[in-house]
Amino acid sequence: MSQRNTDVTTQAIQEQACPIVEVLDHVAGKWSIGIIVAAADGPIRFTELERAVNGISRRMLTLTLRKLERDGLLVRTVYPTVPPKVEYSLTDMARELHASLLTLTSWAERHRGDIMAARAVYDQGHETEPAVAAT
């Protein structure tokens, strides 16, 4: 196979993988996960989300909500009241994602001790290695 054909094949694979990486970046971010978990019990208002997602700024919450809404994971409902009432709800797709997140967090809780132990063993074996300077 010529170099030219290899490049085309590699480029096609990267083009297909790019949206997958983008989607994973969106839904796996710390703020996205926190929002999805907070909204799992039903419609939730902006200020409730702000309190539920520890450490998030108003600006980051707004940007993440817009991104999740654009991706089809949240539905934003505005009620015509004074002041306007806005609620966010998970879509069916996001509820499916939430179930997967629960599985992942359950795995993390079960293996937290194992991971900490492996880190301690690794760190002990690598204490004496000199730091390698980046070139």
Instruction: For residue range 44-63, list pLDDT tens digits in order.
Output: 999 999 999 999 999 999 99
* pLDDT tens digit sequence for 100-119: 988 988 999 999 999 999 99
Torsional class of 2: left (φ above 0), alpha (ψ -120 to 50), beta (otherwise): beta
Higher pLDDT, 32 or 6: 32
Neighbouring CB atoms inside 10 A of 28's CB total 12
Whether 36 contacts 97, CB under 8 Å? yes
Domains along the chain with CATH numbers: 3-125 (1.10.10.10)
Higher pLDDT, 46 or 10: 46
Q: What is the pLDDT of residue 34?
A: 92
* pLDDT tens digit sequence for 72-103: 999 999 999 998 899 999 999 999 999 998 89
pLDDT beyond 50 at 1: no
Map tokens 């654009």 to a residue: 70
